[in-house]
Amino acid sequence: MAKRRDAMTAGMALVAVLVVLALGFHRLGPRGYQRTIKADERRVEDLRSIAQEMRIQNLRQMPIPASVAKLRQSTGTNLNDPVTNAPYEYHPMFGTAYELCATFATGSGAQDRWDMQPRWDFWNHPKGRYCYRLDASKVTEY
């Protein structure tokens, strides 16, 4: 009787482990979707790095560049989309204001679903093309 009870307990434990694994894989989604989320995270990191470089140039009392290509000459910042390799959109505006744009495959909520790290609200974005309005003279939550 004890053997049968031990076998039943082991069987129930195995089923519980398999259910937890299945739920975990379901929550993570397919590998392709994970790559898409990682590419969007990389886009945000690239845009944040560009914004930081723009802020540094402003602190050095250098004017914001007319094109993002000018920024490449002075830094090692990645200025291209990680998937398409197209340059990020950059639109100088008035004074020290500018826009940085990228096309995101997912909205910020998709990353938050998988990532337990807190996100800065400023860098949240919808799916599709989205532009961040920035000012090199002001501190942005990086």
For the chain, the structural domain boundaries read 30-135
Q: Cα(120)–Cα(124) distance, rounded to whole angstroms?
A: 7
Q: Please tell me which residue, 6 or 23, carries the higher pLDDT value.
A: 6
What's the pLDDT at 16? 67
Structure tokens belonging to residue 103: 């096309």
Q: Cα(84)–Cα(66) distance, rounded to whole angstroms?
A: 23
pLDDT of 13-63, one tens digit each? 676 666 665 555 555 556 678 899 999 999 999 999 999 989 988 898 888
Q: Cα(37)–Cα(83) distance, rounded to whole angstroms?
A: 12
Cβ atoms of 96 and 135 closer than 8 Å: yes
| Mean pLDDT estimate for the chain | 81
Confidence band, pLDDT 50/70/90 cuts, at residue 116: very low
pTM passes above 0.85: no
15-38 b/e (C-beta count within 10 Å ≥ 16 → b): eeeeeeeeeeeeeeeeeeeeebbe
